[in-house]
Structure 1
Amino acid sequence: MLDPFFAPIPILVETVKPLCDYLSLKSLPLHIHEILFAFGFYHFIFEYLAPPISSFFLPKQYKRLSYESKLRWNMHCASMVQCCNITVLALWTIYSDNERRNMNLEERMWGYTGAAALVQALATGYFLFDLVVMVRYLDVFGLGMLAHASSCLVTYTLGFRPIFNYYGCVFMLYELSTIFLNFHWFFDKMGMTGSKPQLYNGITLIVVFFSCRLVWGAYSSFNIYRDVWNALHFDRSVKVGGTEEMMLFAGERSLPMWLVVMYMSGHVILQALNVFWFGKMIAAVKKRFVKAPQQNGIKKKV
């Protein structure tokens, strides 16, 4: 399926092509304009759109926030727009891209479609923006968020070799849970901690997080592990097939061990973090809505 975004800008393509060729990011020049667009779009929201809109619609809540909390608020605004956009686009691509749906092993590993690469490019642009913000405000967001932004950016950038282009949309569905996580944070800052809307959102957050990140994530990770295993034992002298257009950037169909180790270890760590975060999430919701037992009018610690 063709990339539905506007056509690449020739001067940008020619500018980045030598570096991309050197780094073996063969398909990146065709999507550099989308990466830069996404970066600029989310930077504009964070820097210039979220503050005045929040001040206008929520003057009391926003203005009483500390400097650090305002930065986090603005970041959550950008995150909310991103997770809504990218999940809709990923779902649309999964549903509409027939070429992607019918990919064989070779195509899932080294294949390329413009629509799937668009999802990858917009995600890369957001993670680039995320990294810049984390570096600028490291004292606010901390090393953990910096590491998260860095790893996501590296992972999605390396996808332009191309490698795992098929799975870019798959793992972007994790972002469905981020929508409700952002709402949960906003409720706290708006003085709605313990309210019914936060309760309903918290229940939805737990259900969606469990479904998207633990169930869907484990299933998708198993699929990518299986594909990598089969690709490592694949006889590249035998042509399985695949359309010429989808395999345009496949080249030698190489699968360096460092790339395998990085991707696989990253998925294992992320799945472990998802389990950890799920436990923390349940604890956070429980803390807000489950009252501690009392003895003689005194709350008992649990």
Structure 2
Amino acid sequence: MLDPFFPPEPFLQQLVTPLCNALHLYSLPLHIHEILAVFILYHVIFEYLSPLFSGFFLEKQYTGLSRESKLRWNMHCVSMVQSVGISLLALWVMAMDTERQSMNHEERMWGYTGSAGMVQAFATGYFLFDLTVMIRCLDVFGIGMLTHAASCIVTYTLGFRPVFNYYGCVFMLYEMSTPFLNIHWFFDKLGMTGTKAQLYNGIALVSVFFSCRLVWGAYSSFNIYRDVWNAIHFDASATRLSTNDSMMMYGRDRSLPMWLIIIYMGGHVILQLLNVFWLGKMIAAIRKRFTPEAQAERKQK
């Protein structure tokens, strides 16, 4: 399936192609405009739209926040747009891209479709924005968030070799739990801590997080581990398994270097462990807001 987004300007594509070829990122020039467009969009939301609309519609709540809380508020606004948009886009591509659906093992590893590349580019644009904010506001977000942003931008950029293009949409479905996390945070800042709305949102958050990140994540990780194992034993000199030349036209490097395996596989293992840890922290945080002691304390205020 072709990329439904408008094509890049020839000048921009030609400008970045030599560097991308040198870095073995052969499909990146096709999506450089999408990365830049998403980066600019989220920067505008973070710097201008979120402060403007939040200050207008929630003047009392927003203007009373500290500098740190305002930065976090604006970041949650960007995160809300990103998580909803990329989840819907990934689901749409998975449902509509018949070429992607028909991929065999070789194509899942080194193949490419324009629509899946678009999802990958939109995610890369967000993580590029995320990285710049983490660097600028390191005192607020901390070294942990900076490390997370850096690892994400490296992982998704390397996908433009292309490698694991098929799995870009798959792991973007992790973001389906993020809107509920953002809403939970907004409830606290809007004085709605301990309300029934926050309770129902908390139940939805834990349910979707468990389903998307632990169940779906474990299943998808197993699939990519299996594909990597088969790829390690794949004979590149043998007759190609792929029957679709258009999907493989950018897959010039039918290889899987050990450093790439370590980055991807190590990242997935760490992320799955973090998902278990975060789930426990979420459950504890939600329960804390609804203990009898917390309810009594809020009534006294």
Q: TM-score range by the shorter chain?
A: over 0.9
Partner residue, 1:243 = 244
Partner residue, 1:272 = 273
| Inter-partner Cα distance in structure 1 for 2:202 and 2:243 | 45
**Alignment partner of 1:167 is 2:167:** yes
| Structure 1 contact 90–119 (Cα < 8 Å) conserved | yes
TM-score in terms of structure 1 length:
0.96
Match of 1:123, as an amino acid?
A: A
| Inter-partner Cα distance in structure 2 for 1:59 and 1:74 | 14
| Structure 2 contact 242–248 (Cα < 8 Å) conserved | no
**Alignment partner of 1:121 is 2:117:** no
Match of 1:210, as an amino acid?
A: F
CA deviation string 1:250-278 (max 9, x = no partner): 11411111101110000000000000000
Q: Secondary structure at the match of 1:245?
A: helix
Q: Report 1:245-264 matches (<5 A).
A: 245-264=246-265
**Structure 1 spans left out of the alignment, 5+ residues:** none
The alpha-carbon deviation at position 8 of structure 1 amounts to 1.4
| Structure 1 contact 106–242 (Cα < 8 Å) conserved | no
The alpha-carbon deviation at position 292 of structure 1 amounts to 4.7
Partner residue, 2:24 = 24
| Structure 2 contact 28–160 (Cα < 8 Å) conserved | yes
Partner residue, 1:95 = 95
The alpha-carbon deviation at position 136 of structure 1 amounts to 0.3
| Inter-partner Cα distance in structure 2 for 1:119 and 1:102 | 18
Partner residue, 2:107 = 107
| Inter-partner Cα distance in structure 1 for 2:98 and 2:133 | 37
Match of 1:5, as an amino acid?
A: F
| Inter-partner Cα distance in structure 2 for 1:62 and 1:220 | 40
The alpha-carbon deviation at position 21 of structure 1 amounts to 0.8
Q: Secondary structure at the match of 2:41?
A: helix
| Inter-partner Cα distance in structure 2 for 1:97 and 1:241 | 17
The alpha-carbon deviation at position 17 of structure 1 amounts to 0.8
| Structure 1 contact 90–169 (Cα < 8 Å) conserved | yes
| Inter-partner Cα distance in structure 2 for 1:275 and 1:242 | 40
TM-score in terms of structure 2 length:
0.96
Q: How many residues align?
A: 295
| Inter-partner Cα distance in structure 2 for 1:167 and 1:218 | 13
Partner residue, 1:286 = 287
| Inter-partner Cα distance in structure 1 for 2:93 and 2:224 | 18
| Inter-partner Cα distance in structure 2 for 1:4 and 1:290 | 49
**Structure 2 spans left out of the alignment, 5+ residues:** none
The alpha-carbon deviation at position 18 of structure 1 amounts to 1.1
| Inter-partner Cα distance in structure 1 for 2:235 and 2:140 | 50
Q: Secondary structure at the match of 1:78?
A: helix
Partner residue, 1:197 = 197
The alpha-carbon deviation at position 10 of structure 1 amounts to 0.6
| Inter-partner Cα distance in structure 1 for 2:293 and 2:72 | 30
Q: Report 1:33-44 matches (<5 A).
A: 33-44=33-44
The alpha-carbon deviation at position 290 of structure 1 amounts to 2.4
Partner residue, 2:71 = 71
Partner residue, 2:57 = 57
| Structure 1 contact 104–242 (Cα < 8 Å) conserved | no
CA deviation string 1:186-211 (max 9, x = no partner): 00011111011110000000000000
Partner residue, 1:231 = 231
Match of 2:26, as an amino acid?
A: K
Runs of 4+ in 1 over 4 A off after TM superposition: none
Q: Percent identity?
A: 70
The alpha-carbon deviation at position 235 of structure 1 amounts to 1.8
| Inter-partner Cα distance in structure 2 for 1:68 and 1:56 | 19
RMSD of aligned alpha carbons: 1.3
Partner residue, 1:81 = 81
The alpha-carbon deviation at position 242 of structure 1 amounts to 2.9
| Inter-partner Cα distance in structure 2 for 1:182 and 1:53 | 17
